[in-house]
Structure 1
Amino acid sequence: MDRRTALKLAAGAAMLPWAARAASAAQPLQVVATTGMIADAARQVGGDQVQVKALMGPGVDPHAYRQTRTDIVAMTRADLVLWHGLYLEAQMQDFMHGLARKRTVVAVAEAIPKDLLRGHDDYADKFDPHVWMTPILWARVVTEVQRALTEARPEAADLFAANAAAHLADLEQLSIYASNSLAKVPEHARVLLTAHDAFGYFGDAYGFEVLGIQGISTESEAGLNRISALVDTLVDRKIAAVFVETSVSDRNIRAIVEGAASKGHKVRIGGELFSDAMGPDGTYEGTYVGMIDHNVTVIAGALGADVPLGGMNGKLAAGS
């Protein structure tokens, strides 16, 4: 090898680290999110600077979910892992804490001030994790996602800030729609009975009494005494509608409907709500805005409010 060739090869080798860094900067940030709601926030804020993988799809219960081998590979290779925290992904908590010693892992809901959180009915030292049920609280999670993305890719900070501002404006409009629609429900009808106690923040925000057959976690058991007591409540208060959830079995809800019928009170299933997971990928209901728009519209309509069938944006699927 002559001297000129050797110098060229050496110069090329010296440029490789710079070239690799430039190529890396041009590639989307690889982000893994546990829930669909967090994945949606990352996509809204990150735009074309991120490639986001959600571990839990439609209908998946995060309380009981355990990471698979594929999930572990994805998380260990990711630039950033976003999980909810607040004991939502209870079966993954130890793994996440271990992973955080090796990778960048952020529990985005734990950025919410503790004085804004509801206590957990099963654990004295924990909180209700279902903060996505109101856009006002979820906005704080979006801001934390923005912070985490900006820290991971500082050169895209302006883009992330602009995207976050646009998404937060959408959440503000969603909050206004929810408040206005749910205020149309007659006061005596503002009772929301679902499979598990996922709607506590919703009830606090919009003035609804929330009755869950199971507790905050779907891992808790619903006893016969609890079901019998709820049947009596439906009958005594003449509650006309109850709701099933996409991520929880409808067995207990149907038992309550049948129990009320046996006592001469007809209760209908008012619709299916998205509690711990969003709608199908690629649909409006598969976004956070669409998920909450659906829930608000279904609840308000079933309990006597005059609301548009298509929801806030006219995008809800027919009959949803």
Structure 2
Amino acid sequence: MSAPATSTKVAAEGGTVSPRPAKPAWIRVRAPGSAAHAETARIVRQHGLHTVCEEAGCPNIGECWAKRHATFMIMGDTCTRACAFCNVRTGMPRPLDPGEPARVAQAAKELGLTHIVVTSVDRDDLADGGSAHFARVIDALRASSPSTTVEVLTPDFLRKAGALETVLAARPDVFNHNLETVPRLYLSIRPGARYFHSLRLLQRAKEIDGRLFTKSGIMVGLGEAREEVMQVMDDMRSAGVDFLTIGQYLQPSPRHAAVQRFVPPAEFEALRQIAVAKGFALVAASPLTRSSYHAGDDFAKLQAARSATQA
């Protein structure tokens, strides 16, 4: 799984331009165009909301929006970090919108979501990292759609004391924070983050609320070695992570980190089997796997796995 190193700095850091390679057949997806997709887009626009589906250029948007599934990205469309893999814009964000939690809740209700994923940009400019805003969104969802289960995909809340506790006090059903890549690549791929801080965040979430499902994901194709991926799996299991996602990194633009390798589907299946053997309750691994892809179905599988273990 390893590959020769390539200079892959983002433009904001003065990096080089890396032309995007042609995608193999197993990566290509059909363009969106269904009536349900258009209706999902209309609801998102009507309520003035952002989705990670659009901002991050997710390849699964056509499939998910056709099923009226959208992953809301709260706290604006501008991130305070400049990760080399991410397509979300970087800069100084606007102040938080106090009306956003209610609009997210109303949009989720109109879409008929039974399971919702809420993520955000990094907000290092806020004293609490935006954790109280996360909690307000969860509260609004609970009030508007009591039967809807809530999954949060949060930033790392680096140097934001008490932020994790604030989010968990609102009692989400799934707490997700992605490690994204192997420790060796953090400096070039995720320079504003710290691997062991992110790992500890996941561990603390489980310590604070044992009934909570915890989830994390990584990308492959960035130059990582197979042994490094397996070590990340072990680290996650030591932190009590229940659900692991593994997907192919896709380069958003020539100014983002270059794809070092397209990993074939058979290797994803091999990684999935290894992860299952290591004790994860659930593993999703495929070229198009993303954190919120099939999240509702996967939540049901997690519940079934826990029930079977308890029985």
Higher Rg: 1
Structure number with higher helix proportion: 1
TM-score, length-scaled by structure 2: 0.31
> TM-score when scaled to structure 1?
0.30
* Structure with greater contact order relative to length (CA < 8 Å, sep ≥ 6): 2
